[in-house]
A and B are shown apart, each in its own frame.
Chain A
Amino acid sequence: MALAELRLLAGEEALLNALPSTEAGQAAKAHLAAAGLPNRRVEAFKWTDVRAALADGIPEADGSAGLIPACLQDALVLDFAAEGFGLEGEKDQGLIIETEDSLELEGGGPLATLAAGFAPRAVVLRVTQSQSRPVVLRRHPGAPMRVRLELEAGSRLTLIDTGLATAGLSTGLLEIDIAEDAELVRYSLQNGGTGAIDLTHTAVTVADRGRYHAIALMFGGKLARAETQVVLAGEGASCLIHGAYLLSGSTHADMTTKVVHAGPNGQTRELFKGAVQDRARGVFQGKILVERAAQKTDARQNHHALMLSEGAEIDAKPELEIYADDVQCAHGNTIGALDDQALFYMRQRGIPEAQAKALLVEAFVTDVFDAIEHEGVRDWFSGLARSWLEASSS
């Protein structure tokens, strides 16, 4: 093949020009100029073509950052807006917030590079003692976010992050370091309009007996992808990653996760559920890698999705790669339609078809939310799911 200069699409050009002249911005520029945006020819992006979504340039940002629900009124809110970074609410002892202009980025892939490139600086949160007040990271339409979160030994934090743009390109990079016996509980919500491109990358490292516990709810957008990479580095480190995607219209949501068991006695619990209708598309890619040193690993992954319309699409790629010999690993992956017989049974009892479907779908996804420990957030997420079901069945 001739060494032709990479031809960039108009959208890629626009992106190049939009990147700031910071170190990370320049690195992202160089990467983009050399490789272009990730697209369907790249294995990891074969179902989520970022280049195609941005072909016509960056959509103009629209929508709001969303209101903080009543159940989180006591939270400390960090706003990531196009104009910059802001703080709202009270900060307790044991939480240190700083900004860092040039934070190095190790690996993470193209979305991490892009998100780091767009962020003017990184916000660094250091948790030195357990926090009872939750922290909310609120991503505004069209804004970049970069957060580095360090939980010191034995500390605990509840983190909520939201991205609710109806249009625009929003990016997020979250680097999380969980020390010995520390625990992060995280709830993520993404809800985008058909003009929203939402790209986030989360990289987590968990030390001995540390715990990463994350539940995400995505409604998709023009293109939404949430990448999570967890390295269970220490002994007895664990993670629970749950996700639900509810998609209608022509939305697209992608949940891509990779969990690396590097230390022994680790535990992973993954549960993903999706319901996709109209011409929407759901993507699940989940990899669990168990390294040779990670003896006695106990890892389970489940992904189950419902296709509610003929034109809907669900693409799933579960992967287990195991190099240790004394491990317990299991995974399950199903994609199906609603049970016709159950539907008829419910209708025979007088429940209209649309309502019967909504009940069945709600029952199907609800166990994803069972792992939400914060009662208010659980009601919030379940309520959002129910509204979606009601809206899509009427």
Chain B
Amino acid sequence: MLNINNLQVEVGGTPIIKGLTLQVPAGEVHAIMGPNGAGKSTLSYALTGRDGYEVVGGTATLNGEDLLALAPEERAAKGLFLSFQYPLEIPGVPTLTFLRTALNAQRKARGEGEISVPDFMKLSRDVAKRLGVTPEMMKRPLNVGFSGGEKKRMEIYQMALLDPRFMILDETDSGLDIDALKVVSEGVNALRGPDKGMLVITHYQRLLDHIKPDRVHVLAGGRIVDSGGPELALALEADGYDRYKDAA
């Protein structure tokens, strides 16, 4: 599914990702952990095509298709979704308008017809109910004035509504209270499937208690320095990243 090979990314001329190789097969959820500043968010921005995150080497493909040659919106239409570590506020654009525009743009890019307004309203209501998003939140301009936790919830709400094939969750757990973490995790788990993949970036085991990963990778100094099963996350929680200092 997602295939990253020897990826190198520079930000403002500084190398941040320095030869990163990673495969996430369809149907699997992989976790990425790593110290602050390791390059986790940089990786997610490079994969989604943000300006200023310059890929200077390596490849990244989704289901065999070269991601790096595509515009951000084209990557999204291929089913790539990023739940942002810091979701943006979009003043003046009502959440529902935004989402309907996004959904229809993706459908159009895939050669599908627009979703009808009643169908969209039903879909958005159903998903909102599942994720504890209130009608009041959906009427407000996207994320404007939302609390940190509400913004994260909105990210997963958007994700559920757009139903992507490959999902990158960048610290979705940060800012969520215990109950919200549970609701959001359930929402994420519902999106798992045999033809889907997920990369879950987190600092904490407690998210991985809810969203059980197939593999755990350690990203330090711009490279994957260790990989293992779910037990690796527990070991990291106990010991920290000290032993990777030299590897990075």
Contacts and interface: CB of A to CB of B under 8 A. Distances in A.
B105 A355 contact: yes
A350 B77 contact: yes
A341 interface: yes
A340 interface: yes
Contacts of A342: 88-90
Contacts of B91: 363
Contact of A353 (B73, B103, B109, B158): B73
Contact of A346 (B49, B51, B90): B90
Given A350-B105, A350-B162, A351-B102, A363 B73 contact: no
B35 interface: no
B146 interface: no
A344 B101 contact: no
Given A344-B51, A350-B105, A352-B105, A366 B92 contact: yes
A360 B90 contact: yes
B73 A350 contact: yes
Interface in B69-120: 71-73, 75-77, 81-82, 84, 87-93, 97-99, 101-103, 105-106, 109
Most buried by A among B77, B82, B99, B105: B105
Nearest to A339: B88
B92 A364 contact: yes
B82 to A, nearest CB: 6
Nearest to A359: B93
A364 B98 CA distance: 14
A218 to B, nearest CB: 20
B19 interface: no
Given A363-B93, A363-B141, A349 B48 contact: no
Interface of B: 48-51, 71-73, 75-77, 81-82, 84, 87-93, 97-99, 101-103, 105-106, 109, 141, 158, 162
Nearest to B164: A350
B88 to A, nearest CB: 4
Given A351-B73, A367-B92, 12 more contacts: A339-B88, A345-B88, A347-B49, A347-B71, A348-B48, A348-B49, A348-B72, A350-B73, A350-B77, A353-B71, A356-B73, A360-B90
A355 B87 CA distance: 20
A370 B176 CA distance: 36
The DSSP consensus for interface residues of chain A is helix
Given A344-B51, A359-B101, A350 B109 contact: yes
A348 B76 contact: yes
A346 B84 contact: no
17 contacts: A340-B51, A341-B88, A344-B72, A345-B87, A346-B98, A347-B73, A348-B72, A348-B76, A350-B77, A350-B106, A350-B109, A353-B73, A359-B98, A359-B101, A360-B90, A363-B93, A367-B92
A356 B93 CA distance: 10
Nearest to B48: A348
A366 B97 CA distance: 15
Interface in A337-394: 339-342, 344-353, 355-356, 359-360, 362-364, 366-367
A348 B82 contact: yes
A339 B81 CA distance: 20
Nearest to A365: B92
Contacts of A347: 49, 71-73, 76
Contacts of B72: 344, 347-348
Contacts of B84: 345, 348
Nearest to B77: A350
Most chain A beta carbons < 10 A, residue from B48, B72, B77: B72
Contact of B101 (A341, A351, A367): A351
A348 B50 CA distance: 9
A342 B98 CA distance: 12
Most chain A beta carbons < 10 A, residue from B51, B90, B98, B103: B90
Contact of B76 (A341, A349, A359, A363): A349
A346 B75 CA distance: 12
Nearest to B44: A348
A390 to B, nearest CB: 13
A342 B99 CA distance: 14
A346 B102 contact: yes
Q: Which of A344, A348, A352, A355 has the most CB of B within 10 A?
A: A348
Interface in A309-356: 339-342, 344-353, 355-356
Nearest to B103: A350
